[in-house]
Structure 1
Amino acid sequence: MTGGPLVYFVLGLSLLLAIVLPQLTQRIALSPPMVLVAVGMAVGMLPAADMVSLDPTDHRDLVTHVTEFTVIISLMGVGLAIERTLDLRSWRSWRTWSPVWRLLAVTMPLTILGVAVLGWWVAGLAPAVALLLGAVLAPTDPVLASDVQVGEPLTEDVDERSEEERESPDEDDDIRFSLTAEAGLNDGLAFPFVHLALLLIAGGFTLADVGTWIGWYVVGKIVLGTAVGIAIGWLLGRQAFHSRSDNLRLADHGEPLLALAALLTAYGAAELVGGYGFLAVFACAMRVRASERGHSYQRAMHGVVERLERLMTLLVLLVLGMAMTRGLLDHLDWRGIAVALALVLVIRPLVGYASLAVLARDEDREGGLDRGEMWAVAFFGVRGIGSLYYLGYAVSHEQVPDEPWLWSTVAFTVIASVLLHGVTATPAMARLDARRGKTSAQG
């Protein structure tokens, strides 16, 4: 017997859970990812699971492509959901994104450095491998962080929603906005450090190559990816909302599959010219959103992307849970546990808070956070599927020392983040929402 029946079973279970779980876990401190990992662990203990190898070293390309597709779907979703505009010509608009720039320019590099130092000092990794571990674990995840991100886009048909939905404070508050935009951007901005680690592992990287790395991997590929995404988003947005041909004005026909066409086109085009595809997808989504911000078609596109993202996420988490009981954590030791817990409980919260608190923007202005909100943004840096993708990408391109240990450590970090942030997100965000609502009422 082959593993085909198990594959169908997992796919069917994923679809069923995609429908049921959001309703069951809506008002309890138990996130769908937590349930999915637990269900996956139970499935992995079934005798039928022996028919399929779940060792990631046996399926590097498959792991890379499945997680890659999941991340780009999520990036399209968060790009369409963000309400706050970013006018590249307006300094005032840039200032409203202040928490995001701090998280990207300060928190992420310091997180990479902190994890790399621990990987070298505590885990005894070679410096290049330690840097790779830092680059893999530093980005926050747009896939698993739905509890602390903005919801669906606000459009002209918003009044058709219930009173409770209309009064919900989570649409575009600074906490959710900051975490959403950070997750949308840092999955692409971590790539230069992954490439640097791979160049160091391959050998032959000298001081003379630093200029090339900065010029191409840091600047060139970021600019290319962003430019391609903006251009494709502008073209598709203009066609969908403002085309002179009625047949091409897809917004009038309500065909939401344009979102999938946009994310695939932007990602593929950016990668073909050498840019970062993740940045291209996020930039494309934001540009499509800006084409006609209040149109109900935005919600239709977001709905399609959200459903596909949910299905892919559930599938990945189920398989991750199965793999945990089939040997994925066999190489985990105290060093990996120490690195994971230090990242989630110490490094990210401390450097995140420091980056937001130093010369902070006035909390009464858009883009400003008070002390409690800063701690919330610093703490809820969820690790997830993006980290699995980056490790899969790295080991598919170079022979990386300590690969089994890296897989076990990264998987444990993701699980630790899913559990810790999953338990705390709902009550913490509810408390912050209540405090913000009370403050608004008093004001």
Structure 2
Amino acid sequence: MTADLVYLVAGASLLLAIVLPSALGRLPLTSPMVLVGLGMLLGATPLPDDLPLSPQDNRAAIEHITELTVLIALMGVGLALDRPLDPRQKASRRAWSPTWRLLGIAMPLSIAGVALLGWWAGLAPAVAILLGAVLAPTDPVLASDVQVGGPATRKVVGEEADDCAPIDEDDEVRFALTAEAGLNDGLAFPFVYLAVLVAGGGALGATALEWVGWYLLGKTAIGVLAGVAVGHVLARFAFRAVSPTLRIADRGEPLLAVAALTASYGAAEVLGGYGFLAVFACAMTFRASERRHDYHRAMHEVVERLERLLTLFVLLVLGIALTRGLLEALDWRGVAIGLGLILVVRPLAGYLALSVRPVPPGERGGLTRAERLTAAFFGVRGVGSLFYLAYAAGEVDDFGQSWLWSTVGFTVVASVLVHGVLVGPAMDLLERRERVPAA
């Protein structure tokens, strides 16, 4: 019976993946909102009493499904970004300034803010740190309404022939949120490991040295380098191989995106690095190798479809779990922490990060005050948070407690609803402001 239900949910997800984008049109609804609601309705039906919906009992399945969903989303995000990244050039660093600020300032502040709320609510230090790490990263899966579209591959002529014509490239808010979501899923891992180390009870000094030297710096560097290397090798074959049979881009075979995803992730993990960062770095490197080629769009379309299917499946199951006991352990502390993150901690941390010596508006990487407010607020939480909690629960028994699952589940659903309701009006307001001519 359980296997039959899985097939039913998978079939419903596939059907909805096809129908929802066009059916919703300009309604004040997003696909995640609809999917969670449908899942809750399905969960309220007379399902078998022995249906295994306990998150801790299904921890391994949750970990692997959400991991795959995030990996596919990261590949899609990396392929979609048109803005070049060259750390050696000041102009490139400035163009990416909002992303660095959201990663280097807003994310640590969000982790600290949630951890302090957890400590105030009576959580053990390791559990409070874990909750901050789990809920801090923004999500590349559910944030499609505030992200750039697919890669711009339209060829231009004349003096600009060495670049692609931008589509969403100049939308600073969408670019900042997209790049942030692509990078901070991997950068949350060091803080998850910090919680694991604290839970292990090692000496504080030794734990700090190990965490900074290996988990923060070492594994991050390995992940990025592995992703860059795999992306470079695959791009050489796809676009510039001597043998025509190896120039996959000329044949337009989009499944190379899946091969790149698995190869970069596997290489980084085997070497001990962060696979999430490797996948994003691989996609960015591959994208930079030949920006004008239509092959990028073909790859992105395949990844986008896979991402949509897996996301809808996860959300349907999450909705079912909501009405089948997921929130039983939720109390005022979980509600306060979840809403505090969405409505206070992330907006304040994001606005502070984007307001300290910012790039002037009008320049690449510059944000107006309204744009800073929008980028700070729309830090969508989602599938990545579920993955990190499932992973940590497999490392430390105390991290599998029902209260943590209830709190994280509540926060994800609250983010889906709050951000889903407000994203349309907020982005429309920004677009109207941009169309108003300067006085």
TM-score bracket relative to the smaller structure: over 0.9
Change beyond 3 A, Cα 1:184–1:49: farther
Equivalent residue in structure 2 for 1:375, among 367, 370, 373:
373
Q: Which residue in the other structure is 1:153 paired with? A: 151
2:59 is aligned with 1:92: no
- 2:176 and 2:279 mapped to 1: Cα distance? 18
2:71 is aligned with 1:72: yes
- Per-residue Cα deviation, 1:322-363 (whole angstroms, up to 9, x for no partner): 000110000001110000000000000011101101111111
SS where residue 400 of structure 1 aligns? helix
The residue type equivalent to 2:63 in the other structure is: T
Equivalent residue in structure 2 for 1:188, among 182, 186, 189:
186
Deviates more, 1:129-138 or 1:25-34: 25-34
SS where residue 56 of structure 1 aligns? coil
SS where residue 176 of structure 1 aligns? helix
SS where residue 244 of structure 2 aligns? coil
The residue type equivalent to 2:273 in the other structure is: G
- 2:133 and 2:334 mapped to 1: Cα distance? 15
1:351-362 correspondence to structure 2 within 5 Å: 351-362=349-360
Change beyond 3 A, Cα 1:202–1:208: closer
1:413-428 correspondence to structure 2 within 5 Å: 413-428=411-426
- 1:351 and 1:244 mapped to 2: Cα distance? 50
Q: CA deviation at 1:437?
A: 3.1
State whether residues 150 and 172 of structure 1, in contact with CA within 8 Å, keep that contact through their aligned partners in structure 2: no
2:69 is aligned with 1:59: no
State whether residues 153 and 165 of structure 2, in contact with CA within 8 Å, keep that contact through their aligned partners in structure 1: no
State whether residues 256 and 304 of structure 1, in contact with CA within 8 Å, keep that contact through their aligned partners in structure 2: yes
2:280 is aligned with 1:282: yes
State whether residues 67 and 387 of structure 2, in contact with CA within 8 Å, keep that contact through their aligned partners in structure 1: yes
1:203-242 correspondence to structure 2 within 5 Å: 203-242=201-240
2:133 is aligned with 1:135: yes
- 1:223 and 1:299 mapped to 2: Cα distance? 29
The residue type equivalent to 1:185 in the other structure is: L
Unaligned runs of at least 5 residues, structure 2: 158-163
- 2:168 and 2:90 mapped to 1: Cα distance? 26
Q: Which residue in the other structure is 1:405 paired with? A: 403
State whether residues 198 and 207 of structure 2, in contact with CA within 8 Å, keep that contact through their aligned partners in structure 1: no
2:82 is aligned with 1:118: no
Q: Which residue in the other structure is 1:256 paired with? A: 254
SS where residue 153 of structure 1 aligns? coil
- 2:48 and 2:250 mapped to 1: Cα distance? 47
Deviates more, 1:329-338 or 1:355-364: 355-364
Change beyond 3 A, Cα 1:158–1:149: farther
Q: CA deviation at 1:135?
A: 0.4
- 2:407 and 2:354 mapped to 1: Cα distance? 28
Q: Which residue in the other structure is 1:385 paired with? A: 383
Q: CA deviation at 1:435?
A: 1.8
Q: Which residue in the other structure is 1:47 paired with? A: 46
State whether residues 37 and 321 of structure 1, in contact with CA within 8 Å, keep that contact through their aligned partners in structure 2: yes
Q: CA deviation at 1:50?
A: 3.4
State whether residues 328 and 408 of structure 1, in contact with CA within 8 Å, keep that contact through their aligned partners in structure 2: yes
The residue type equivalent to 2:145 in the other structure is: D
Q: CA deviation at 1:48?
A: 2.8
Q: Which residue in the other structure is 2:161 paired with? A: none
What TM-score does the superposition give when structure 2 sets the normalisation length?
0.96
Q: CA deviation at 1:24?
A: 1.6
- 2:400 and 2:8 mapped to 1: Cα distance? 33
Unaligned runs of at least 5 residues, structure 1: 160-165
Q: CA deviation at 1:157?
A: 6.5
Q: Which residue in the other structure is 2:200 paired with? A: 202
- Per-residue Cα deviation, 1:50-103 (whole angstroms, up to 9, x for no partner): 352111110111110100000000000000000110013212211110000000
- 2:2 and 2:365 mapped to 1: Cα distance? 51
- Per-residue Cα deviation, 1:356-404 (whole angstroms, up to 9, x for no partner): 0111111121000010000000000000000000000000111125711
Deviates more, 1:427-436 or 1:245-254: 427-436
- 1:275 and 1:319 mapped to 2: Cα distance? 30
Q: Which residue in the other structure is 1:30 paired with? A: 29
State whether residues 138 and 185 of structure 2, in contact with CA within 8 Å, keep that contact through their aligned partners in structure 1: yes
Q: Which residue in the other structure is 1:437 paired with? A: 435
Q: Which residue in the other structure is 2:243 paired with? A: 245
- 1:127 and 1:24 mapped to 2: Cα distance? 46
Number of residue-to-residue matches in the alignment: 433
Following TM superposition, the consecutive aligned residue runs of length 4 or more in structure 1 with deviations greater than 6 angstroms are: 166-169
- 2:317 and 2:156 mapped to 1: Cα distance? 37
Change beyond 3 A, Cα 1:303–1:49: farther
Q: Which residue in the other structure is 2:81 paired with? A: 82
- 1:35 and 1:49 mapped to 2: Cα distance? 24
- 1:77 and 1:172 mapped to 2: Cα distance? 19
Q: CA deviation at 1:211?
A: 1.5
- 1:314 and 1:83 mapped to 2: Cα distance? 27
2:337 is aligned with 1:339: yes
Q: CA deviation at 1:8?
A: 1.1
State whether residues 150 and 297 of structure 2, in contact with CA within 8 Å, keep that contact through their aligned partners in structure 1: yes
Change beyond 3 A, Cα 1:396–1:402: closer
2:8 is aligned with 1:9: yes
State whether residues 139 and 387 of structure 1, in contact with CA within 8 Å, keep that contact through their aligned partners in structure 2: yes
Q: CA deviation at 1:156?
A: 2.7
State whether residues 226 and 268 of structure 2, in contact with CA within 8 Å, keep that contact through their aligned partners in structure 1: yes
- 2:58 and 2:410 mapped to 1: Cα distance? 19
- 2:26 and 2:155 mapped to 1: Cα distance? 26
Equivalent residue in structure 2 for 1:394, among 392, 395, 411:
392
The residue type equivalent to 1:25 in the other structure is: L
What TM-score does the superposition give when structure 1 sets the normalisation length?
0.95
State whether residues 266 and 277 of structure 1, in contact with CA within 8 Å, keep that contact through their aligned partners in structure 2: yes
State whether residues 55 and 328 of structure 1, in contact with CA within 8 Å, keep that contact through their aligned partners in structure 2: yes
State whether residues 156 and 165 of structure 2, in contact with CA within 8 Å, keep that contact through their aligned partners in structure 1: no
